[in-house]
Amino acid sequence: MEFEDEFLDIVEEEEPADDDVKLAEVYKLAVKLIRLLDSVKSQELKEGASLMLIREIINDDPVLMGLASKMIQDLSYGVIDDENYVS
- pLDDT per position as a tens digit, 6-27: 666 665 665 666 888 888 998 9
| 68-85: b (≥16 Cβ within 10 Å) or e | eeeeeeeeeeeeeeeeee
| Closest listed residue to residue 57, CA positions, set 67, 44, 70 | 67
The model's pLDDT over 24-70, given as tens digits with 9 standing for 90+, comes to 998 999 999 999 999 999 999 999 999 999 899 999 899 999 998 98
The CA–CA distances, whole Å, from 75 to 17, 18, 70, 79, 87 equal 34, 32, 9, 7, 11
Q: What is the pTM of this model?
A: 0.59
Distance CA 79, CA 82 (A): 5
Going by C-beta distance under 8 Å and a sequence separation of 6 or more, which residues neighbour residue 32? 3
